[in-house]
Amino acid sequence: MKKPMLCLSLLVLGGCFAPQHRFEDDPSGYGLYVATTNIFANSDIVVQQEGTGAVFSMKNTHSYGGDSLGFVVASLPPGRYHLATYSPDGRNNYPITTANGWFDVQANCFNYGGYYDFEMGEDGLPSYKNVDTLQDIAKLPGHYKDFAEHRDICAATMGHDSERLKAEDVAGVLGDL
């Protein structure tokens, strides 16, 4: 009897620490940030909120997509965030110092960061390319795509002010999520 109760407790507790938990519980105080990456290891991307200086660690995981595609999902308070570090191998952290290494998060919104292609620049520091299209949300695995259903979509593209699209306007473009 103890073993099933322990498993149930761990399942319930694990749900409390899911990256979308704060967003689901308090959408007016948080935005959900979602992006895909070419980081091949389960690792962290560290961001710092402009103004407050608060630091947040976003997990890059491979729960879908195998080894070639990483998924980042995080509940973040609204504001502007600057990339601080990333780990391509899950062990070593590298600073990201590019001038446009920032994105905006809006509350009560599915903030889509798009696809990040991290590489090492000629100077030995990380660089990246960022692509963000609305249609890419429809291609996300169901677990991630479901977060966008009936929600406003906010573009969280690097180096660009966020643009908010109302849920009713997005539904026609994304179709049935």
What is the pTM (predicted TM-score) of this model?
0.83
Q: What is the pLDDT of residue 137?
A: 86
Q: What is the pLDDT of residue 46?
A: 95
The residue among 22 and 4 whose pLDDT is bigger is 22
DSSP letter string over the chain?
-HHHHHHHHHHHHHHHTSTTHHHHH-TTT-EEEEEEE---SSEEEEEEETTT--EEEEEEE-SSSTTT-EEEEEEE-SEEEEEEEE-SSSS--EE---TT-EEEE-TTSEEEEEEEEEEE-TTSSEEEEEE--HHHHHTS-HHHHGGGTTS-EEE--TTS--EEE-HHHHHHHH---
The residue among 161 and 97 whose pLDDT is bigger is 161
Q: What is the pLDDT of residue 171?
A: 77
Domain boundaries, the chain: 19-174
The pLDDT tens digits for 35-49 are: 988 888 899 999 999
The pLDDT tens digits for 90-147 are: 899 988 877 788 999 999 999 999 888 887 777 766 667 777 677 788 878 888 888 8
